[in-house]
Amino acid sequence: MNYILNRENEIYYECGWSSDNALFLKLGDYKYVITDGRYTLEAKEEADAEVIEDRDLVKKARELILKHKIKKIVLDPINWNYEDYNRLSKVCNIKPEKYFSHKKRMIKTEEELEIIKKAVKKGAKAFEKFAKHIEVGNDEYELSYRFKESLTKRGRRELSFEPIVAINENAAKPHAKVSSKKLKNNDLLLLDAGIKYKRYCSDRTRTINIGKNISMGKYQKFKDKKIQKIYDIVLKAQLEAIKSIKVGMEICELDKIAREIITKAGYGKYFVHSLGHGVGLDIHEWPYVNSKNRIKIQEGMVFTIEPGIYIPGEFGVRIEDMVMITLDGKVEVLSEQ
């Protein structure tokens, strides 16, 4: 198959190197990386492909396509602008395939699974370390700063995404931005974050009670009875969905299982997102765990299970863990404690 890629993680997956200005081409048995002079030396040292230097990446790609007499090439139309797409279409037939690289990367290798396990373990340790630095009176800005210090080991590693740190009513926004709201005793604090290890992401959410002994565990006790009730519903939905995972089942069934528990409890309209998503080189990738995805669960998949209930103006609860389907078909929940 002949294909061309222009996204960093997609290129890295193919040849072990990437930059913010590069193209990767697979033309028959040949692999090429095209980049500019800023990255040539690094690419030649690291890329498992022939490296070609050029300022006009698409022009050089066109030349290679013509040189190899390629009649048809696959690309993901979502990732290309009209001008570059049009330039490529003038030298060969384009076969557009949405999410081409994501589909290829959906089933992880044994090596990838081991890297992801380490990423999750390191991320979970950062949550535990941060628990010791949570102080009543800090606002979300300060808490976020301290959280990122723990996650990145003071800048020594990358974040999977900008962490979410939300107190009480701010936690009712699934992707809340930090505010000047200050933390008090018996508050609810929602934390959603992950780190990268060897470029692979981790992702975890905990909703915790701020009391004498702060825990990052999934079994939380809240003074407020309504918060406790909703927390227990979300936890039940998450545990039941995880318990139900089986190789060969349609992934949409997991969303249905969790959503029915929340709906029967009377909070269906407050579960406003899908149940989960794949995680790998990208923080959001295939398979997406939603009500429409009929892809069957397979060995080598990694995805999140993260139900939530969000009560506007009051609070939100989300509990998230990453789940791995091992190559021998076992279901492994990563850092679930």
Average pLDDT, the chain: 97
CA distance linking residue 21 with residue 9, whole number of Å: 12
Q: Is the pLDDT of residue 240 over 70?
A: yes
Q: Region 146-168: what's the mean pLDDT? A: 96
State the DSSP code for 72. Answer: E
Residue 64 exposure: Cα atoms within 13 Å on the Cβ side = 26
Q: Region 321-333: what's the mean pLDDT? A: 95
pTM for the full model? 0.94
CA distance linking residue 226 with residue 195, whole number of Å: 32
Q: Region 299-320: what's the mean pLDDT? A: 98
CATH of span 110-334: 3.90.230.10
Give the bridge partners for 324, in sequence order. Answer: 302, 332
Nearest to 317 by CA among 241, 253, 255, 224: 224
User: Which residues in the chain belong to E strands, given as ranges?
Assistant: 3-5, 22-27, 30-35, 50-53, 72-75, 93-96, 164-167, 188-193, 196-197, 200-201, 204-209, 276-278, 285-289, 302-305, 308-311, 315-318, 321-325, 331-334
Q: Region 97-102: what's the mean pLDDT? A: 96
Residue 198 exposure: Cα atoms within 13 Å on the Cβ side = 12
Q: Is the pLDDT of residue 336 over 70?
A: no
Q: Region 29-52: what's the mean pLDDT? A: 97
Q: Region 300-328: what's the mean pLDDT? A: 97
Place of tokens 């470029």: 199
What pLDDT score was predicted for residue 47? 98
For 181-209, write each residue's pLDDT tens digit. Answer: 999 999 999 999 999 999 999 999 999 99
Nearest to 16 by CA among 115, 130, 132, 154: 115
For 268-297, write each residue's pLDDT tens digit. Answer: 999 999 999 999 999 999 999 999 999 999
Q: Region 250-278: what's the mean pLDDT? A: 98
% of the chain surpassing 90 pLDDT: 98
Q: Is the pLDDT of residue 71 over 90?
A: yes
Q: Where are the domains of the chain?
A: 3-105, 110-334
State both tokens at 335.
């850092």
CA distance linking residue 245 with residue 261, whole number of Å: 16
Do strands 22-27 and 3-5 pair parallel, antiparallel, or not at all (unpaired)? antiparallel
Q: Region 7-36: what's the mean pLDDT? A: 97
Does 3-105 carry CATH code 3.40.350.10?
A: yes
CA distance linking residue 71 with residue 91, whole number of Å: 8
For 114-153, write each residue's pLDDT tens digit. Answer: 999 999 999 999 999 999 999 999 999 999 999 999 999 9
Exposure string (b/e) for 305-337, b if CB count within 10 Å is 16 or more?
A: bbbbbbbeeebbbbbbbbbbbeeeeeeebbbbe
What pLDDT score was predicted for residue 85? 96
pLDDT bucket at 337, cuts 50 / 70 / 90: low
Give the bridge partners for 29, in sequence order. Answer: none
For 217-231, write each residue's pLDDT tens digit. Answer: 999 999 999 999 999
pLDDT bucket at 154, cuts 50 / 70 / 90: confident
Cα pseudo-dihedral 81, 86, 87, 89, rounded to 10: 130
pLDDT bucket at 335, cuts 50 / 70 / 90: confident
